[in-house]
Structures are given as C-alpha cells and as structure tokens.
Structure 1
C-alpha cells in the first residue's frame, strides 16, 4: 500500500485520480472502492464486502452530518473543541484526537472514517482489512506489510517505505503534507507520516507535526512535538532531500 500526502492546493490531475492506488498490491485480498460524496475509500478485504462498506460509510457520514448540523463550529474550528458526551461515537473519537493533537477535530476525519469502516468490516467477517481514505490508512493484516510514502516532488518520494510487522496490527498509518493533496497544512513538509493504534489520533497528529515543519527550521522540533503525544508510536518527516524519523519505525528502500 502507498501512503498519499495531503496538501493545501488541489492538484487537478493526479490527486483527483488518486494514481497512487495503482501501486497497491492486494496481497491476496479483494480490492474495491467506495465513493460517497467527499468520502473516497480504497479497501482491501478478505472477502467482497462492498455493500457492508457502503452501508458503514453512510452510517458514519450520517452521524457526522447530523452532529455538524447542530454544531457548525465542528467543521470550521482549527483549535480543539470540548469533549461532548452526547455526541455519536465517531464524533467523540475526533474530538478526543483533536484535543490530544491541539488541532481542530476535522483534522482527524479521514483517519476516523477509515478505522470505523474497517472495524465494521472485520465484524462482518473480513478476516483482514486495509482501508485507505485519502492517504490515511487503517491496516489490520495477518502478515507483514510495507507502506510506501509518496512525497510529491521530493527525490525520496516512493523510495522510502515503512515495514509493518503483523504483530503491530491493527495500526493507523496517516500522512499529511504542505505540498500535495487537498487538506489544510500550515507547514512545508512533503510528507509527515504518523503511526498509532488510534487512526484518528495518527491523522490529527500528522496535521500537528506537518504544521510545525517551517522554512529555515530543522525537523527536530516537529519530531519532538509528535513524540511527546501519548499513543504515538512513530513519526517520519520528508522535506525535499531531508528525512527525519522517531519511534518504532523500520524504514526500507523502495524501487521508486
């Protein structure tokens, strides 16, 4: 599987087509996609559960949209919002991730959706599942996997991968960027990839760390910020020819 990054400006060609998905090896699993409005999932599953996946997306989008209708600040806030014990489960997860990462809850939306759908598919008998949502991945496999990091124009793009042992799964693998993709990033990293058991947390922290990669500064402050958050297992930052890593990450070379 390949990790795609997010950026501030939309790419009218390669991003919309999600060409990075063509690099994904199914590894004996069934491959399919589910697209419902802004949600665009690529799923690998032990069995064909596209109907169940579609139902799950509608269910969790419904929870989010219903909550947003009464709490519009949930979408617009770039700062953490208070926890809400009355909120639906996926909203509670995003609120908690935003608080832990010191960002708005929508920074966790892709990771949260990937994990919630993945858990539903496991409950439906998938056996193994990988759910990729715009480069944010929930991965639960019975064998070692490698996640390649796409870093746009960086010479390290598609040349560095993360080896994920089966014993580490399920795992969230989430990536943010200041140069590729459509999501908001206030930094200049080509790729910030974060590993955590909580996929929503990994997504939110990737945004936080990406925001800290600023011109004229080294990568150490951003790595340090990510490493200080409870639940984060590893962080990788790529900026141009620079690469920084912290935590339980095993980097492997890829063919490009």
Structure 2
C-alpha cells in the first residue's frame, strides 16, 4: 500500500517526460528527455536485489542506527551507503532513499542528458538549466512557500529532506524540515537525517547548521522549525 504523494502534482519540469516506477516499497517519480520507464524499472529491480540480498546476509546493515563497516567486496550501493553513514554518524539505511534515487538516476543518464529522480522527497538532479526545488515542511508557515534555486554548475546534485514531524522515516528531532545538498545524494540523505536529529527547538538551528556544514561533501543546508529558518552554504532561496 503506497501513500499518495500529493506534492508530486507540483512537480513541473519543463520539456521533460515524467513517469512513475513502483516496486515493492520503492516509489519513484522520474523525469527525463523521454519515457524511460522500462530502463528505470530494470535499474530499480537490480538495485533492490543488491540491497535485499545484502541485508538478508547482513541484517545489522538494515537495522543499525550507527555506522556499519562493510567489506570492499560488497555491492557499490552498499559501500556508498556505509560511507555516507560513517561521515554523518547515522545508520546506513538513513541514506537508502537518496542512494536508490542516485543509482537509478545515474543509470538513466546513459539514455538521457537530463534526469530527475524523486524518491520519498529525496532528489537526484542532473539538468541543463536552473531549477527550483519547492520545500515541503508540513504545517510550517514556510511549507511550499520557498524554493531552493539550483544552477547548472550545481549538477549533478542531491537534494534530500528529513523531518521530525512528517513522513515515516525515523527522526529523533522536531524540525519541520531539514534539507541537505551534496553532489553525493547518499550523503545528502544521511546528512539531512543526522542534522534533523539535532534540531529539537529553534535555539538548535545555529549549532546544527554549523555541525552539518562541517561534514565533508555537504554544500548547503536549510533548517525549518516552527516559525524560524536558517540556511548555510550554497543555498539560494526563492520566494514568489
């Protein structure tokens, strides 16, 4: 049973074909230069096979809330998730949505110069022109009122969001939304989770931003909690 993702109605990438690919828990909304649904499905099935196969043999990878070491013989997606978890000091599954988006997205770049993959609010983006990413922050007054502007020089990039108030992902914080940017989408996802865990009140914004921007590979952060927001790094905000 998949939750209806109403925010997708707001996604309007000009000049690109958009389609949805669903396999078990994975629900991807993809935009590319043409309808590559079959290519995306095959890539997703392969990635899920690697993930599920590895977790069946190493269940701690799927359950740990702290970094887990993996062998160099592990599938590449497992290695990248473990690396992101180690940098952000979270469990490896904190990066799974971003990892799937990135690996599917990069596979589609063989057939399309422009690709956007959205997986549960986490984005892998490679486009030719500037894009605006609308920020969804639950019941916050800022929700869907702000966009993060991405320039061509930013691509490929990951834009990942974590919340302590909305969604099903585990969070120990109270932020309405934490958005992390990185060229490594796995890392953006892990970092968004880690920073969100540190935000329990508005007074935590400054210290959480400082901590998150010290993570190697993170290019920008946005934190929204209640009626306050803070941003650091390569974050250009647009409010119509």
Q: TM-score, normalised by structure 2?
A: 0.98
**CA distance in 2 between partners of 1:182 and 1:157 (Å):** 18
Tell me the distance in 2 between the aligned counterparts of 1:92 and 1:166: 28
Pick from 194, 199, 214 the counterpart of residue 208 of structure 1.
194
Q: How far is 1:58 from its partner?
A: 0.3
Q: Tell me if the contact between 1:83 and 1:96 (Cα under 8 Å) persists in the aligned partners.
A: no
Which blocks of at least 5 consecutive residues in structure 2 are unaligned?
Answer: none
1: CA distance, partners of 2:43 / 2:202:
44
Match of 1:157 among 139, 143, 148: 143
Q: Does 1:122 align with 2:97?
A: no
Matches of 1:61 and 1:240 in 2, distance apart?
36
- 2:22 is the alignment partner of 1:35: yes
Residue 91 of structure 1: which of 59, 78, 85 is its match?
A: 78
Which residue number in structure 1 is paired with residue 121 of structure 2?
135
SS in structure 2 opposite 1:100? helix
Normalization by structure 1: what TM-score? 0.92
RMSD (CA atoms): 1.2
- Tell me: higher relative CO, structure 1 or 2? Use CA pairs within 8 A at least 6 residues apart: 1
Partner Cα distance (2:15, 2:78) in 1: 33
How far did 1:83 drift?
Answer: 3.4
Question: 1:176 and 1:29 mapped to 2: Cα distance?
Answer: 27
Counterpart of 1:219 in 2: which secondary structure?
helix
Cα distance in 2 between the residues matched to 1:83 and 1:61:
18
Distance across 1 between alignment mates of 2:80 and 2:3: 28
CA distance in 1, matches of 2:215, 2:70: 18
Deviation at 1:217, TM superposition (A): 3.2
Matched, 1:186 2:186: no
- Which of residues 36, 54, 63 is equivalent to 1:76? 63
Deviations 1:95-143 (CA, angstroms, capped at 9, x unpaired)? 00000000000000000000000000001x1120000000000000001
Residue 218 of structure 1 aligns to a residue in which SS? Answer: helix
Contact 1:45–1:128 (8 Å) recurs in 2: yes
Q: Which runs of 5+ in 1 are unaligned?
A: 1-11
Cα distance, 1:216 vs. partner? 6.4
**Where does 1:49-64 land on structure 2 (aligned, <5 Å)?**
49-64=36-51
1:241 aligns with 2:227: yes
Which position in structure 1 is the counterpart of 2:155? 169
Partner Cα separation in structure 2 for residue 30 and residue 145 of structure 1:
16
**Structure 2 contact 202–228 (Cα < 8 Å) conserved:** no
Shift of 1:223: 0.5
Range with bigger deviation, 191-200 or 84-93: 84-93
Q: 1:236 and 1:184 mapped to 2: Cα distance?
A: 19
- Counterpart contact for 2:202–2:225, Cα < 8 Å: no
C-alpha deviations, 1:38-62, integer Å up to 9, x for none? 1000000011110000000000000
Name the counterpart of 1:47. Answer: 34
Any conservation in 1 of the 2:202–2:226 contact (CA below 8 Å)?
no
